[in-house]
Amino acid sequence: MIKAVIFDLDGVITDTAELHFQAWKNLANSISIDFDKEFNETLKGISRMDSLNRILRHGDAIDKYTEEEKEELAFKKNEEYKQLLAYLKPENIYPGIRECLDTLKERNIKIGLASASKNGPAILNYLQITNYFDTIVNPDSVPSGKPAPDIFLKAAETLCVKPIECIGVEDSEAGIEAIKKAGMYAVGVGTMEIMKQAGADLVLKDTSELIWNEVYEAYCHND
């Protein structure tokens, strides 16, 4: 029996990837590192500092900066990102998400957020959906980021449910890996090949296919 659904945020509830892209691109270019959309894809679900380290490695600049300078670079990126976030509105919620949240509420199924983003609470506020969530895990409160299962396990623990009673919804490979390591049923939103390879139990093309009755049906017939 499913008692909770734990959602990723970026790429599942709304499209912040484009905003991350703009802010990282400006930061990378300011320190003479090329940054394109393809590389941006590899940062999905990855924490801010880990993303910066990947960008610096990509630009052969990992040894150029002290830890303090890296903190400053990450801060600068986040300041620009926060300005872009302020334009988010309820219309920016992905199709099907609000309907799914409504159905879960009607069925008394708990709702959690397991996002790597420290801006998660602000994003939910801009989208005006904070009230749906029974728990929002602070990514700083867990030892390791995705692909470690920690953030999904913490969400289950806070909701007082067992991992086996949870469904996790993710768009990143790191996120799917985290859900599976947590012992939960994984719904992947994205390309069939990539999501299947990451270990998703059910793959949806996009969130308009996140129809609770259908997802639950697929879960019940999972072997």
Q: Which residues are catalytic?
A: 8, 10
Binding characters for ligand B16, 90-129, by CB under 6 A (x = yes): -------------------------xxxxx----------
Task: From the list ligand B16, Mg ion, none, pick the one residue 47 interacts with, judged by a Cβ distance below 5 to 8 Å according to partner type.
Answer: ligand B16
150 binds Mg ion (CB under 5 A): no
Task: From the list ligand B16, Mg ion, none, pick the one residue 179 interacts with, judged by a Cβ distance below 5 to 8 Å according to partner type.
Answer: none
Q: Could you tell me the smallest distance in angstroms from the CB atom of residue 213 to ligand B16?
A: 25
Long-range contacts of 73-77 (CB under 8 A, 24+ apart): 73/27, 73/31, 74/48, 74/49, 76/27, 77/23, 77/24, 77/26, 77/27, 77/48, 77/52
> In the structure encoding, which two tokens stand for residue 64, read together?
């150029």
Phi-psi region of 108 (alpha: psi -120 to 50; beta: other; left: phi over 0): left
Stretch that binds ligand B16, among 45-53, 54-62, 130-138, 209-217 (CB under 6 A): 45-53
From 11, 147, 149, 168, residue interacting with ligand B16 (rule: CB under 6 A)? 11
Q: Could you tell me the smallest distance in angstroms from the CB atom of residue 217 to ligand B16?
A: 26
Q: 158 to 177, contacts with Mg ion by CB under 5 A?
A: 171-172
Q: How far apart are CA 153 and CA 187, in angstroms?
A: 16
**End-to-end CA separation in angstroms for the chain:** 15
Contacting residues toward ligand B16, per CB under 6 A: 8-11, 20, 43-48, 51, 78, 115-119, 172
Contacting residues toward Mg ion, per CB under 5 A: 8, 10-11, 45, 171-172
